[in-house]
Amino acid sequence: MNPEPQRGRAPSIRDVARLAEVSHQTVSRVLNDHPSIREETRQRVLRAMEALQYRPNRAARALVTSRSHTIGVLSASTAEYGPARAIAAIEDAARELGYTVNTANLASQTSEAIADAIEHLMLQAIEGLVVIAPQVRVFDVLAGMAIGVPFVSLQSTGAQDERLAVDQIAGAHMATRHLVDLGHREIIHLAGPQDWIEAEARMRGFLDAISDADIRTHPPILGDWSADFGYFAGRELLRRRDFTGVFAANDQMAIGFMHAVRDAGLDVPGDISIVGFDDIPLAAHVWPPLTTIHQDFRQVGRRAVALLLRAARHESAGEPEPIVPELVVRDSSGVAPVASPRY
């Protein structure tokens, strides 16, 4: 018997059945690990699958078993460090449990594009959905769709998300408090884009820390996460230089701002102290090494996958410990200058 299927098409379950000399129902039972299959039959089917290089279709298996062992991830950005690391962590955690991950990246932020991306994932027979999309409108679209599978979000938007998201407000408060403890009384904040939930949370943490310290509030500067914006903002703000400390909502903007400080002939941290957020790999190797907030993305990924699978099995999620970020102190932050800033 010729083991090759017809030229021009992938081998099917019926091709495997013919080569193994069993019914296609028997092949299906082998694929689904049915206990009634004798070991000799199982091995014959597996050898036929190997000879044909047959790979089972997950969607087809899902129709029979109601299990695809696939998790969907909806992401608004894979270019930024945080979302990219979160996706990698989710993939690692899912793989350890025998699951694969399908990711849909939003081509735009319109409601139609968001709905299309969610529908694309649903067509893959996903068993659960992780949302790594920072805009409020994403959750508005989800609320209007009957997706029929559990989903969790990595954004700090409510009680559900606190089970698995890093506490962005606490991290920003920690970064700002670090500058306050070093004696800085004039601190500015380079914020992320206004429609990003994480940017809003980090701004809240900054403002809370400034209020707690009872010092003057400088209006946050809305940025775009890029080092180019950090550099541009630094060049403009240093014309007045009415501050000694800077908390940037991510490391890229912080690094761009440090570049502007050096170009102005000033010293970090002698004249200006700078703190970032995320602890990207480059943060430890710029000059001076950047003080920043570290997030445990591996723990986030594990918790997201575990929470999804418990929800799929209708099990109680319990009350996990919050994920608290960590302040990593390096050389970009120091004691505030003795002299008052120049106005």
In a shared domain, residues 281 and 198: yes
Q: What is the CATH number of the domain that holds 282?
A: 3.40.50.2300
What local confidence, expressed as pLDDT, does residue 161 receive? 45
Mode of pairing for the β-strands spanning 292-294 and 326-328: antiparallel
Q: Determine the Cα–Cα distance for residues 25 and 28; give it in Å rounded to an integer.
A: 5
Q: Locate 320 and state its tokens.
A: 């996990």
Q: Which helix (H) or strand (E) holds 246?
A: strand 245-248
What local confidence, expressed as pLDDT, does residue 158 receive? 46
In three-state secondary structure terms, 340 is coil
Number of domains making up the chain: 3
In a shared domain, residues 114 and 45: no
In a shared domain, residues 99 and 187: no
Domain span at 78: 70-166+297-323
Q: Could you say which residues of the chain have pLDDT below 70? A: 1-9, 32-33, 55-67, 77-79, 134, 155-164, 317-321, 339-343
Q: Locate 304 and state its tokens.
A: 């997201």
What local confidence, expressed as pLDDT, does residue 78 receive? 62
What local confidence, expressed as pLDDT, does residue 6 receive? 52
Domain for residue 7, yes or no? no
In a shared domain, residues 161 and 172: no
What local confidence, expressed as pLDDT, does residue 160 receive? 46
Q: Are 244 and 275 in contact (CB under 8 A)?
A: no
In a shared domain, residues 173 and 290: yes
In DSSP terms, 135 is beta-bridged to 196
What local confidence, expressed as pLDDT, does residue 250 receive? 96
What local confidence, expressed as pLDDT, does residue 63 receive? 45
pTM (2 d.p.): 0.75
What local confidence, expressed as pLDDT, does residue 19 receive? 92
What local confidence, expressed as pLDDT, does residue 330 receive? 98
Q: Of how many residues is the chain composed?
A: 343
In a shared domain, residues 267 and 201: yes
In a shared domain, residues 158 and 265: no
Q: Determine the Cα–Cα distance for residues 254 and 284; give it in Å rounded to an integer.
A: 13
Contacts of 217 by beta carbon, 8 Å cutoff, 6+ apart = 207, 210, 211
Domain for residue 177, yes or no? yes
In a shared domain, residues 274 and 243: yes
